[in-house]
Structure 1
Amino acid sequence: MKKIILIMVFAIVLLLTACTPSDAGFNLDSNITVYTRDTTSGTRDGFMNGIGFAEAAKSDSVLVTGFVIRDNTAQLNAMSIDEFGIGYISTSSLNNTVKGLYFNGVEPTEANVINNTYDLKRPFMWMIRAVGDFPSQDVEDLVHAFVAFLGTTDAADIINNSGAIALPSSITWDSIKNDFPITQQDNSSITVRFGGSDSIQKIAEAVTAAFTAKAGNFVAEHDHTGSGDGWKRTNGDTKDQTVGKDVGFSSRPFTTTELSNVIEEQYGQLAWDAIVAIVHLSNPINNVTADTLKKIYEGTYLTWSDVPNE
């Protein structure tokens, strides 16, 4: 009888040992499908620099063969169906349709960004047109009022509730609104154009929705096409085309070239954001290091069996 029990126990141990992620339905020997953003993306800039792969921020030639370029939303959608994919998005976009990976053992949460333990983060920036270069004086005045609003506790609450980390502030909108008389009139016939980073779109829409109610109900028009357009469409070569914007956002620091034709009052930071590597929910990997991500994106690790679950 004891012999039979021992055999049964041994069989159970073997069974449990054999229950690998591959047996559970995930094939670790499958090739990794690598997703990235285009070279103008602030998310890509922050991600590649954050994993020690700076040369990949602006160059596709150093990436693994067969990589796929998709924007923030498209990567999120892709990872919900591509069992063997890996990508990266803003943490403000993370939801329960994908798995957000720990980075260097730290969970990608707002609290961990604030306490500086989560290292994969980048700034959210704004930029506006030059004085006298707006469609009208009313639009210019509303934009300057909006920039002031971004520095208030009112805006900070909205930014935090939208998934980013607002900069510290002790100023309320009520304490400064009289400095902007434009906000006291009916502005329902005026349109202010917002664009740039699509990673910031959710936050920008939330902040403008709150501000327009405080500023005469102007129309906030949003068209977000990437961080590169945060400068191009406000101060760059497309600012005077139909795609031109009054306020542009970037999810990376503006470059030296982009800042060459603007003054200090035309740009600033509104928040911090973290970037998170994402995979399909069935993927057994839970944590990655900067070195692991670099090896995936450069092609050293080609299958999921190559990737350590650290």
Structure 2
Amino acid sequence: MDWLQRMNHAIDYIEDNLENAIDYEGIAKVAVCSVYEFQRMFSFVLEVPLSEYIRRRRLTLAAFDLKSRNNKVIDIAIKYGYESSESFSRAFQQLHGVTPSMARNAGIQLKAYPRISLQMKLKGAVEMNYRIEKRDAFQVFGLEDEYSYDKIANEQGVTIPEFWQTICNNGEYDKLEQALHGDWQQEGKFSRELDSVFAYDAYTFTSNTTFPYLIGCYKTANSQTEGYTIVDVPASAWAVFSTLNDGNGSGSYDLCTLKNRIFSEWVQTSHFTIAAGGNFEMYGTTQDGHKYCELWYRIEEGQSA
């Protein structure tokens, strides 16, 4: 069964269970992958988090149900997984811009999000450049937090870009660089163009709806790591993609498009699967001053069945 079939079977499972409690493990089982891998593929390829797709579809169907005045609001709320008419009304108004009661009236404009269906497209006119690197185990250290897949924000509502902005403004970024100590590029055999501070995420399981994210550095023999989280990076093969190799030479930071192509094109046609255990975003500057980003994904031989 190929990637496209597995994704469509998983979407079928979601659609069949919109009136029930949707088990993320069940979705992943149908897709023949881990929960983490499915959520990551779903969001990168379809550009919407899995939980948001489910919410939109349920509230789309709820709007149709409201057109029949025989359906009570509380019954519709429970049908689509809301514990009270109040929580349902808040979610409904957030999506549609009107209350459930107003939605019953003729002439009210509502939003409809149709079922997603993935189809094969003719792609490949633009090449995808990548390289495979095999590395021994090493360690990284840095500032860690946990983020939700839904909003890519932590418990305090701080997003990842805001996290970066905060540490750049409060001096924590500079402290990280100072704690590094030693020639990490030589010790780790990394390019001299790469910055010392990078991002490492999803390196351990936290929950089906969250992932860990670390802004950190390579741990050298002399790094001062007191007060920082230390993470082991296992020996692995890595597929490396760069914004410098986006097919048109622009080197732009369009990471969303690059990630979409990795999962919708490269993963489908390569002989590798992207493995659990962490991914890097490494930032660099070419000799002529061009900024770029490299995406490092742990890979394994052989595609899922």
Quickly name the TM-score band, shorter chain normalised: under 0.3
Q: Which has the larger radius of gyration?
A: 1
Higher relative contact order (CA 8 A, sep 6+): 1
TM-score (structure 2 length as normaliser): 0.22
